Amino acid sequence: LDVGNDIWLDIGLGYEEETIPPLWLSNDMVCAGICALLDQDQCREDKAQILGEQNAMQEWFSEEWMVVDASLNRGK
């Protein structure tokens, strides 16, 4: 869900007018901090995924290089 979605504006059951709303709902700085934290978490997940793909590509290239090298040396 998008944190900017209106669903987050629903305070829920048991809300009373005189009750102070939670900070994530009433404080713009807290809301911005939550968004920044979610972005940071996504970046960390993306980085881990990319590093995994990098390792797989390096392993694949190493295997391909050994095959090419063996083929070239076989002809000598």
pTM > 0.85: yes or no:
no
Indicate if the pLDDT at residue 14 is higher than 70: no
Q: Note the pLDDT of residue 52.
A: 98
- pLDDT tens digits, one per residue of 24-68: 888 999 999 999 999 999 999 999 999 999 999 999 999 999 999
Which has the minimum average pLDDT: 5-9, 40-44, 71-75?
A: 5-9
DSSP per residue over 7-76, as a string?
GGG---TT--TTSPPPHHHH-HHHHHHHHHHHHHHHHHHHHHHHHHHHHHHHHHHHHHHHHHHHHHHHT-
- With cut-offs at 50, 70 and 90, classify the pLDDT of residue 19: confident
